[in-house]
Amino acid sequence: MRILSGIQPSGALHIGNYFGMMRPAVALQAEGEALYFVADYHALTSLRDPETLRANSRRVALDFLACGLDPERATLFRHSDVPQVTELAWILSTLAPMGLLERATSYKDKLARGMSANVGLFSYPILMAADILIYDSDVVPVGKDQKQHIEITRDLAVKMNETYGQIFKLPEPRIQPETETVPGIDGQKMSKSYGNNIDIFGDEKEMRKRVMSIVTDSTPVDAPKDPASSTIFKLYSLVAPKNEIAEMRERFLKGGTGYGDFKKQLFEKLWEYFAPMRQRREEILADRSYIAAVLARGAKRANEIADRVMERVRKAIGLR
């Protein structure tokens, strides 16, 4: 089984990225050949400062390694180290119906939030399909927001297979129901672009501030509160042991505890949860050549697979 996923280096990684994609991706390393990449080509649709892109890409690699990606078991690489993927994106685009892309909700959502409509943003799902198909991927661990992109990938693979004969496997999304959409501090999906993120590796003061800013309703301290609709409780459930989650639920239902106290409790647990990863991050940082070496090795392996698949594609469509 081949597992593949990517993450954009558009800023610091947040706990939505971690629980939605990185944690499941790390768990899947043991189940097959895993390939994970820093999606720098994709980030170009929104990030236009070369130094920031370079620094963010390195930082995403660092953070992913700190969160448990094991380069002895999984391949970590930079998107742009496999430029053949842009060739495949072009080939797929020649078969992609406009309507398929016009229905992409993430594109419509970005426009609604004021991003300018460039062609790259519009055709983003085609590049993402190429990312997945070029490695003959079976399984793609992602959060729910990426589900439609994987459906588009499957549609394009079917179109190619119908047109040119069997070229591509059909990949399956792997979405964890309990973490498919991690809420941000305003209760909406956590996202850097919504400004509601809690970063994994923010400093202590920053993380505390973000947690203390979680939006709550105006239920008085003494009154019972609804755990199911509370962002505090949802996030606590991701990081606390079962008995402590049950205890918090009871205290919500009983009343007598204010949201401020629950937030303090959540902060402590979150801070503790990521402590081993902060430590691992420091260790990686101490070895100055480590990240570059991991990415170089990853690029080599990713290219081996992509070259083989591209030969198959070129031959099938008449370019060889």
**Shorter beta-carbon distance to ligand TYM: residue 197 or 251:** 197
Are residues 299 and 77 in contact, defined by beta-carbon separation less than 8 angstroms? yes
Residues that bind ligand TYM (CB under 6 A): 4-8, 16-17, 20-21, 39, 42, 128, 131-132, 140, 142-143, 145-146, 149, 179, 181-182, 189-191
Is residue 4 classed exposed, middle or buried when 0-12, 13-18 and 19+ CB atoms within 10 A define those classes? buried
Place of tokens 């558009």: 10
**Shorter beta-carbon distance to ligand TYM: residue 201 or 251:** 201
Residue 163: its H or E element: helix 147-164
DSSP line for 53-72: HHHHHHHHHHHHHHTT--TT
Q: CB of residue 108 vs ligand TYM: minimum separation in angstroms? A: 15
- Nearest-angstrom CA–CA distance, 306 and 311: 9
**Catalytic: 147?**
no
**Shorter beta-carbon distance to ligand TYM: residue 52 or 181:** 181
**Shorter beta-carbon distance to ligand TYM: residue 41 or 251:** 41
Burial 110-137 (b: 16+ CB within 10 A, else e): beeeeeeeeeebbbbbbbbbbbbbbbbb
Are residues 285 and 277 in contact, defined by beta-carbon separation less than 8 angstroms? no
Please tell me which residue in 169, 189, 209, 264 is annotated as part of the active site.
189
Hey, what amino acid is at 42? H
**Catalytic: 189?**
yes
DSSP line for 188-218: SBP-GGGT---BTT--HHHHHHHHHT-----
195 phi and psi angles, rounded to 5 deg: 70, 20
Are residues 237 and 51 in contact, defined by beta-carbon separation less than 8 angstroms? no
3-state helix, strand, coil in the chain (%, to 5): 60, 10, 30
**Catalytic: 225?**
no
**Shorter beta-carbon distance to ligand TYM: residue 235 or 316:** 235
**Shorter beta-carbon distance to ligand TYM: residue 34 or 190:** 190
Q: CB of residue 223 vs ligand TYM: minimum separation in angstroms? A: 29
Q: CB of residue 193 vs ligand TYM: minimum separation in angstroms? A: 9
Please tell me which residue in 110, 225, 234, 269 is annotated as part of the active site.
110
How many CB atoms are located within 10 Å of the residue 36 CB? 27
Residue nearest to ligand TYM (CB): 20
Q: CB of residue 191 vs ligand TYM: minimum separation in angstroms? A: 6
Q: CB of residue 251 vs ligand TYM: minimum separation in angstroms? A: 26
Q: CB of residue 257 vs ligand TYM: minimum separation in angstroms? A: 27
Q: CB of residue 295 vs ligand TYM: minimum separation in angstroms? A: 17
CA dihedral in degrees (265, 270, 272, 275; nearest 10)?
-160
**Shorter beta-carbon distance to ligand TYM: residue 60 or 251:** 60
Catalytic annotation, residues: 110, 189, 192
